[in-house]
Structure 1
Amino acid sequence: MTGTRVVVIGGGVIGLSIAFHLAEAGVDTTVLERGTLGSGASRATADVVRSYFAGNPLSSALAVRSLDAYHAFPNRPGADLPLRQVGYLVLFTEPDQVAAFEADLPAQHAAGVDVALITAQEARQRNPLIGDDLPVRAAAYSPQAYISDTTAIVTAYAIAAEQAGARLRTGCPVTGIDAQTGQVRTPDGTITADAIVCAAGAWSASLVRSAGVDLPLTEPIEQELLTTDPLPPGTPDLPVTLHAASGLLIRTRGDRLLIGMGYPGPDRAAWRRDVAEQLATTYPSLAGLPLHTAVTGLRDASPDRTAFIGHQPGPPAFLYATGFSGHGLCNAPAAGELVRDLYLDQDPRFDVTALAMSPRRTG
């Protein structure tokens, strides 16, 4: 049996951010990852970091804080990070979508998000592929959206965490925890810790239950992103664009599009047909363009699509950062800071009670 002050379960972008922030603060930290670093939800991202999450100012506030950290990456943790600003465009085709945006706008601005309502004409100027017949009423536009590199972020956090003294153990799944004694069981033996942090993404539900925390996490959801054949010559670079009604999300990646639209579900062939149909409806010039799987991966989800970040005091203490619902890359730096501050019992400069389990978030 070995010992450590803190065990972080999960070696994705969330777990590695937590490990870096803890180790940087002088905390003896061990990360346990069932596969390779970044092999879970961190593998299936669109490499987009943005600040605006419609109807979810809490996630937006985490993302604003995280975006500031990404801009400061060359200094801390100390890695050059690609950040190509492209902006984020959300197309509204229904009156209630516009009304919901306007109702949400004060809270988004209070969270620090730069976002505004623009006209359909302005939306088409920013994304000229939008079909003339698509009934766009207005759009939300935020310049705070960037194409980055998830692998580079994972690698930077891992290197910096190790340099600060953290131990990263891959191929080491957690088979059980005892939150009463601080014991974490693995095939390689049991580790005892003063604190356990669950950042296991899609594998979090059983772990938090073992600690006596009843988070309403869904079963793991498989995400799939598609890519197109090369785009027609002369296709301009586009903002990350979301068709609000369908959830169709596109961004350019080299000479192709990267595409997401919800989750495939059991009938993957039907889902792909729906994606192709919606792509043709929204962007007629791309009708018939072949689609291929770009990446798949499991991710966690919470009922309100906002992460659960909380602390069950010890000793041993139990902390959790899970349920990011696809927002993990955008929230990772802030999540690492908040878990560090909760563990060290210092001011997080954020209302973490809004992120913990509560009746408001489950009812």
Structure 2
Amino acid sequence: MSEQKNTAEMLVIGGGVIGTSIAYHAAKAGIDVVLVEKNQFGAATTSQTARAFRTYFPRKPHDSEMATRSLAEYKQFSETMGVDLGLENLGLLTILTSPQQVAELEADLADHREAGAAVEMVTAAQAVELNPWLDPDTIEAAVWNPATYRIKPEAIVQGYVEGARRHGARLFSNVAVTGLDSDSGVVSTTAGDFTAQSIVIAAGPLSGDVAKLAGLDLPVWGQFAELLHSDAIRTDRDVHNLPFTFHPVSGLKTMGMGKAFLVGLERISKQDGLRDIWYQAAVDELPKWYPELEGVKLYSAWTGSLDVTPTKSAIIGKGTGKHERVLFAAGFTGHGLAQAPLAGQIIRDLYLGHHPNVDLTPYSLGLNLARLEAF
């Protein structure tokens, strides 16, 4: 590569849905962008999802706002990018199991509505009408979020990659970062050195390690994750179009895929050899909420790593002092699909010196470092 091609105004590290969104929005604004990705675009965390997009995050109205505002861009994707995202409306049911839980989340709904999210409290009977596989005796009430969709992650990345290139961005796959000097703006890679005015860390679970190359403490790490799928269910009832259903108390998440159920489970660590314990917990938990699925076998659909933070929300912002040329957008905890469009716009605005039309307080590096110390 020539010296000219090895310079840029912005160098983005990470070619998943967050990094490619940043590259697209920055390039569209006239910024000279280079993006490097150590694998294929969208091949890591972005591909390791349930392929669902939701706009309600209990007790996190800031995340609901990010997702709701991002949805507007996705709805225009076919027109603006020429790529079909395969949006299928499913809706999200968040199952509540006690009067206390109902009271807590009902009080929280006003903040989500103010953030733009479509949410309403529904009765147990209404929840079962929306998802007939549920056991009504286990439900006190539920929160219904109709703006939840099945979506194609690979199509999002494809659209952003092609869109960024149309606006002049240079995107390189299979290029790993080996060094980062935030003082000089030099980023060393397996394809040679690049020099940039600003460096954006959007490397998913590897973001913390990339930041360490520059001496920056960015508390983002990878957490093992796995999604299971059931056998095909012998039934005449619809499974594929069931709403995405979440049980906060147990951490169980389900959605339909063809005639099978996709099943995820939070709460239990899958690190340090505890995967078998986690798997058995998922097997035991499923029939508690879905009695008809008693005895259904579960198999691994995929395993991977999610980028997590102390607050369980992303870290989005700009470094200070000797790290002032470093920007970051990482730690989306598996929700990057829901927040990528707005994250790209925020990083673009921070680079341009514009004040983002988003309150970044819940996403601040300082908040996450303080939470980490509290641990």
Q: TM-score w.r.t. structure 1 length?
A: 0.95
Give the unaligned 5+ runs of structure 1.
none
How much has 1:187 moved relative to structure 2? 2.1
Structure 1 counterpart of 2:219: 216
Q: Within the alignment, does 1:264 sit opposite 2:266 as a pair?
A: no
CA displacement at 1:278 relative to structure 2: 0.7
- Structure 2 unpaired stretches of 5+: none
1:117 matched to 2:124: no
> Secondary structure of 1:358's partner?
helix
Name whichever structure is richer in helix by fraction. 2
Aligned mates of 1:361, 1:312 — CA distance in 2: 13
Mark the CA change 1:328 to 1:309 in structure 2 (over 3 Å): closer, same or farther: same
2:311 maps to what in 1? 304
2:230 alignment counterpart: 228
CA distance in 2, matches of 1:209, 1:140: 41
Residue identity opposite 2:356 in structure 1: P
Judge conservation of contact 1:194–1:315 (CA < 8 Å) in 2.
no
* CA distance in 2 between partners of 1:80 and 1:137 (Å): 38
Q: Please give the alpha-carbon distance, in whole angstroms, between the structure 1 residues aligned to 2:126 and 2:369.
A: 36
Provide closer, same or farther for how the CA distance between residues 186 and 300 of structure 1 changes in structure 2, counting only shifts above 3 A. Answer: same
Distance 2:218 2:309 in 1: 8
Q: Would you say the 8 A contact 1:227–1:259 is kept in 2?
A: yes
Is this contact kept in 2: 1:77–1:156, CA < 8 A?
Answer: yes
Aligned mate of 1:319, from 324, 327, 330: 327
Secondary structure of the structure 2 residue equivalent to 1:202: helix
Query: Which of 66, 84, 87 is the matching residue for 1:83?
Result: 87
Q: CA deviation at 1:359?
A: 4.0
Q: Which amino acid aligns with 1:355?
A: Y
Change (3 A) 1:76 1:315: farther
Instruction: Give the paired residue count.
Output: 361
Cα 1:316–1:192, aligned 2, differ >3 Å: closer, same or farther?
A: farther
Shift in Å at residue 252 of structure 1?
A: 0.8
Give the Cα separation in 2 of the matches to 1:344 and 1:167: 19
In structure 1, C-alpha distance between the alignment counterparts of 2:369 and 2:291, rounded to whole Å? 40
1:8-157 map, 5 Å? 8-134=12-138, 136-157=139-160
Q: Determine the C-alpha separation between the residues in 2 that align with 1:282 and 1:104.
A: 24
Q: 1:359 to 1:298 in 2, by over 3 A?
A: closer
TM-aligned CA deviation for residue 157 of structure 1: 1.1
User: Does the aligned pair in 1 maintain the 2:309–2:368 contact within 8 Å?
Assistant: no
In the alignment, the residues of structure 2 paired with residue 166 and residue 312 of structure 1 have an alpha-carbon distance, to the nearest angstrom, of 23
Q: CA RMSD in A?
A: 1.8
Choose the corresponding residue for 2:356, options 322, 325, 348. Answer: 348
Q: Which moved more, 1:88-97 or 1:190-199?
A: 88-97
Q: Deviations over 1:296-340 (max 9, x none)?
A: 221111122111110136897210001111111100011011111
Measured in 2, the distance between the counterparts of 1:120 and 1:361 equals 40
Does 2:286 correspond to 1:282? no
SS in 2 for 1:4: strand
The two structures have a TM-score, normalised by structure 2, of 0.92
Would the aligned equivalents of 1:310 and 1:353 in 2 still touch at CA under 8 Å? Answer: no
Preserved contact between residue 311 and residue 368 of structure 2 (Cα < 8 Å): no
Give the letter for the 2:183 counterpart.
Q
Q: Which amino acid aligns with 2:44?
A: G
Find the aligned partners of 1:64 and 1:272 in 2 and give their Cα distance. 33
Q: Distance in 1 between matches of 2:222 and 2:64?
A: 23
Deviation of the 1:207 alpha carbon? 2.3
The one-letter code of the counterpart of 1:264 is K
Amino acid paired to 2:308 = A
Deviation at 1:213, TM superposition (A): 3.7
Q: Structure 2 vs 1, CA of residues 97 and 215 (structure 1 numbering), >3 Å: closer, same or farther?
A: farther
* Aligned-partner residue type, residue 263 of structure 2: I
- Name the stretch that deviates more: 224-233 or 5-14: 224-233
2:173 corresponds in structure 1 to 170
Instruction: Answer with 246-255 or 347-356: which moved more.
Output: 347-356
